[in-house]
Structure 1
Amino acid sequence: MIAAIIVGIIAGFLAGKIMDGSGFGVIGDLLLGLVGGLVGGAIFGSPNGMIGAIVVATIGAVILVWISHLIKRA
């Protein structure tokens, strides 16, 4: 559980930096990273190791940020 939270924080932070350089705040980044981990896991399958989990969660979080930006523009 603690490892998933840490991965979520890192993934949310990285996604915020990759997409527009602005995050959604600490709690928003955490939630985005955790949900991004689920999205990334659904797309790519379960990763092996901490680095793989961070990469998959970051990709999932970037996808979620991209979708949220599309929704904001509409």
Structure 2
Amino acid sequence: MYISSQGLLVVLFVGLVAGWLAGKIVRGAGFGLIGDIIVGILGALIASLLFPKLGIHLGRGIVSEIIYSAFGAVILLLILGLLRGRGRF
């Protein structure tokens, strides 16, 4: 699989914004640059697996991808919070 440098920048940007949004929603703060990117990209993977099975489609474009990824990242952070036993969102 080949990804151009421009495509890689878009993926990293979407991951960064989605991870930052999820961090603000769930924890009230971000996770740093690398942490936000990782959370956002993992959230995008979760959303791409879960949402089509639920029949959820948000549209096309970078804004919908950021929203899609942020929802997936919030789900990821909530699951991790429950597994840690933190108990609060």
User: TM-score, length-normalised on structure 2?
Assistant: 0.75
Alignment partner of 1:33 is 2:45: no
1:2 to 9, 14, 31: 9
The alignment yields a C-alpha RMSD, in angstroms, of 1.7
Find the aligned partners of 1:41 and 1:34 in 2 and give their Cα distance: 11
Q: How many residues are paired up?
A: 74
Alignment partner of 1:60 is 2:72: yes
Q: CA deviation at 1:26?
A: 2.0
Stretches of structure 2 that go unaligned for 5 or more consecutive residues are 1-7
Q: CA deviation at 1:44?
A: 2.1
Find the aligned partners of 2:84 and 2:31 in 1 and give their Cα distance: 14
Find the aligned partners of 1:23 and 1:65 in 2 and give their Cα distance: 12
User: SS of 1:31's equivalent?
Assistant: helix
Alignment partner of 1:16 is 2:31: no
Percent pairwise identity: 39
User: SS of 1:52's equivalent?
Assistant: helix
User: TM-score, length-normalised on structure 1?
Assistant: 0.88
More helix by share: 1
